[in-house]
């Protein structure tokens, strides 16, 4: 891996609290979007405002999914990649 990528990876994985916070915000945002979508579907009559509210719910739901996925990837997969990168560097030290 290139040095810039390795430095970014180390910087990104050094703060699991931040990544857990992003994951939690993503879950909350997802469920708020789901709640808005359910409200539009079951509590409003068929109208343009129902469709607009449903669209807003879908947008918020999508943002929540993206945030949760980014938080999860940062918590797990990036940490594994960093561990693999560290092991390769330990085996092949540069002089």
Query: 20-49, pLDDT tens digit by residue?
Result: 999 999 999 999 999 999 999 998 889 999
**Can you read off the two tokens belonging to residue 38?**
């359910």
User: How far apart (Å, rounded) are the C-alpha atoms in residues 35 and 58?
Assistant: 10
Tokens 């990544």 belong to 19
Confidence (pTM) = 0.75
3-class secondary-structure state, position 93 = coil
Closest of 77, 79, 81, 70 to residue 23, by C-alpha: 70
**Regarding predicted confidence, which is higher, 13 or 49?**
49
In the chain, domain spans? 20-87
pLDDT above 70 for 94: no
Report the percent of the chain where pLDDT is more than 90: 48
What distance separates the 2 farthest-apart alpha carbons in the chain?
72
């Amino acid at each position: 891996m290139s040095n810039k990528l390795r430095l970014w990876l180390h910087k990104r994985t050094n703060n699991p609290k931040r990544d857990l916070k992003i994951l939690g915000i993503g879950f909350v945002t997802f469920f708020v979007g789901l709640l808005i979508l359910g409200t539009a579907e079951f509590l409003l009559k068929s109208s343009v405002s129902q469709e607009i509210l449903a669209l807003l719910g879908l947008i918020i739901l999508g943002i929540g999914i993206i945030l949760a996925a980014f938080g999860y990837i940062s918590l797990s997969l990036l940490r594994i990649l960093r561990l693999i990168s560290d092991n390769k560097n330990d085996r092949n030290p540069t002089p």
